[in-house]
A and B are shown apart, each in its own frame.
Chain A
Amino acid sequence: MDEFAENLRKEKFQVPVCTVCKAKSWPPSPFCQKCLSRTVFRKVKTEGILQEFATSFVRDHEGVFGIVDMDGIKIIGSFATDRLQKGMLVKMTKCGIKSGTPFYIFEPLR
């Protein structure tokens, strides 16, 4: 977890990958959720399918957000546009930590 956050602070999105079976461990864990071996952080594909999206009006959390499935890594990110469709291909363009909270920014690919 700490290494995941450290990478995010450097605007790097890396997830734990099993040293034995190569499965991605998401949400982040030092142990593989399939074979319980140790994991190491690796860069992964940050393109995925938009599963669902909505618009938030919560104070300080305004904007369009959606859940993206990046080959099994499901994550809620924000979008600068509401011209979105379920099932469309999207890509993470930026990530980081702001006021102690992770953020992930996506944009449509087509």
Chain B
Amino acid sequence: MRRVAIAASATSRFEKTTDKSIFELACEPCIDIIKNKEIGIDAVLLSTCSTEQYSSTIVAEMLGLRPKISHRIDNLCNSGTNAVASAYSMIAAGLCDSALVVGAEKSDSTGNRLVWDVTRGAFNFPVHWASMFAKAHMSKYGTTGKQMAAVSVKNRKNAARNKNALFQKPVSVEEVMSSKIIADPIKLLDCSRACDGSSALLLVSEQLARKFENPVWIKGIGQQTNSASFGKAAENLSSLDTASRAAKDAYLMAKTKPSEIDVAEVHDAFTILEIMAYEDLGFARKGKGGQYAESNKIAINPRGGILGCGHPIGATGVAQISEIAMQLSGKASERQVKGCKTGLVHNLAAAGSSATVVILGA
């Protein structure tokens, strides 16, 4: 297999809502990547849950591109990381030498409501399954609302240093704890928010990577899909089997281990998910994720995570990888994590029914 690098990345400002079409949103970060670059684009992969037909090819056309390969990837919140896995595979296999991966979503995306899942009954908002996870983790391991609040405080503080983040104002533990209960024990400030946003990455072969300054290498990818429905995913409410399996495969492929990760972007659509991620990724022992949330041993979600940046679901995975690529290439400006060499991205879809873990190296 050929080595694959991330040569460039760009992310738009995430906003509550805009007048822009999904196509305009998608094109914006791509323009920053492809203008003035003397490199052909062999593939355009669009990550979105928007249902417009032929959308990837429309984006390619709008950008004046004639790629060999063009298609859309839709896998809810996991779409962006799945698109990167597909682009990686195409380049590693020699099918193409360069791939533009773009994630874009509108705040009113059909992907925000899980209408197919009859196992959720009338309680079919993501916050409902998140509350089940939180209650289970609390009763099994003693995780507290204050520990969950620490996640929100950290990520909102980080987001305040990210001009593209939806939320620019830090919050205190007290503010999180006193915010409105949405589904017990999940409070308003434990929740992320859907928004408009887009992010793009340029993946290239090793040969093309030589033309770029500080490319970041994709060292390992793990993916696991267990189900589409909560009723099937809910075998264990206090940990996510998909995430731990994906992490195991990614660590193996990258020949690395949790203690060697310097910086990570993890899926924090709800604060409890970040706590579960610490455990599923091996950063903390099972049941100790809550304590880990208060210790901040490594840099987690330096861009502000989903809680701070907002959650345009098709763009999220791409933006997570963009952040870690920027960190590892030393381009993260005021939020740069000093001396980071190995980074990790963890992303989930629909109650953790599928998960992707990507490991990157400087």
B2 to chain A, nearest CB (A): 37
B244 to chain A, nearest CB (A): 20
The reply to whether B185 and A54 contact each other, CB–CB distance below 8 Å, is yes
Instruction: Give Cα A54 to B139, complex, Å.
Output: 12
The reply to whether A86 and B121 contact each other, CB–CB distance below 8 Å, is no
Residues of B within 8 A of A75 (CB): 119, 121, 231
Instruction: Give Cα A5 to B116, complex, Å.
Output: 11
Most buried by B among A73, A74, A86: A74
The reply to whether A27 and B232 contact each other, CB–CB distance below 8 Å, is yes
Instruction: Give Cα A51 to B140, complex, Å.
Output: 12
Per-residue B-contact encoding for A21-38, CB less than 8 Å = 1, 0 else: 000001110000000000
Per-residue B-contact encoding for A49-68, CB less than 8 Å = 1, 0 else: 00111111110010001010
Which label, helix, strand, loop or mixed, suits the secondary structure of the B interface?
A: mixed
Query: A27-B232, A74-B234, A102-B118 are known contacts. Are A58 and B132 too (CB-CB below 8 A)?
Result: no
B344 to chain A, nearest CB (A): 29
The reply to whether B121 and A78 contact each other, CB–CB distance below 8 Å, is yes
Asked if B182 is an interface residue, CB under 8 A from chain A, the answer is yes
The reply to whether A54 and B183 contact each other, CB–CB distance below 8 Å, is yes
A59 to chain B, nearest CB (A): 10
Asked if B39 is an interface residue, CB under 8 A from chain A, the answer is no
The reply to whether B181 and A57 contact each other, CB–CB distance below 8 Å, is yes
Asked if B237 is an interface residue, CB under 8 A from chain A, the answer is yes
Instruction: Give Cα A97 to B135, complex, Å.
Output: 28
- We find that the number of chain A residues with CB closer than 8 angstroms to chain B is 30
A45 to chain B, nearest CB (A): 16
Residues of B within 8 A of A52 (CB): 132, 135-136, 237
Query: A27-B117, A103-B121 are known contacts. Are A57 and B128 too (CB-CB below 8 A)?
Result: no
- We find that the number of chain B residues with CB closer than 8 angstroms to chain A is 31
Q: Which of A1, A51, A57, A65 contacts B182 (CB 8 A)?
A: A57
Q: Which of B124, B183, B229 contacts A101 (CB 8 A)?
A: B124
Asked if B125 is an interface residue, CB under 8 A from chain A, the answer is yes
The reply to whether B121 and A77 contact each other, CB–CB distance below 8 Å, is yes
Task: Specify the chain B residue showing the minimal Cβ separation from A64.
Answer: B184
Asked if B1 is an interface residue, CB under 8 A from chain A, the answer is no
Q: Which of A4, A26, A76 contacts B121 (CB 8 A)?
A: A76
B350 to chain A, nearest CB (A): 12
The reply to whether B229 and A27 contact each other, CB–CB distance below 8 Å, is yes
Q: Which of B119, B125, B127, B139 contacts A86 (CB 8 A)?
A: B139
The reply to whether B237 and A26 contact each other, CB–CB distance below 8 Å, is no
Asked if B217 is an interface residue, CB under 8 A from chain A, the answer is no
The reply to whether A54 and B119 contact each other, CB–CB distance below 8 Å, is no
The reply to whether A76 and B128 contact each other, CB–CB distance below 8 Å, is yes
The reply to whether B234 and A67 contact each other, CB–CB distance below 8 Å, is yes
The reply to whether B135 and A61 contact each other, CB–CB distance below 8 Å, is no
19 example contacts (A-B, Cβ-Cβ < 8 A) are as follows A4-B118, A5-B118, A26-B232, A27-B118, A54-B184, A57-B182, A58-B182, A65-B121, A65-B123, A65-B128, A67-B231, A67-B237, A74-B231, A75-B119, A76-B121, A76-B231, A86-B139, A101-B122, A104-B122
5 shortest interchain CB distances as A-B pairs: A74-B231, A54-B131, A103-B122, A27-B229, A65-B123
Residues on A lying within 8 angstroms of B by beta carbon are: 1, 4-5, 8, 26-28, 51-58, 61, 65, 67, 73-78, 86, 98, 101-104
- Additional A-B contact list (8), CB under 8 Å, known A54-B185, A56-B128, A61-B128: A27-B228, A27-B231, A52-B136, A54-B135, A56-B127, A75-B231, A101-B124, A103-B122
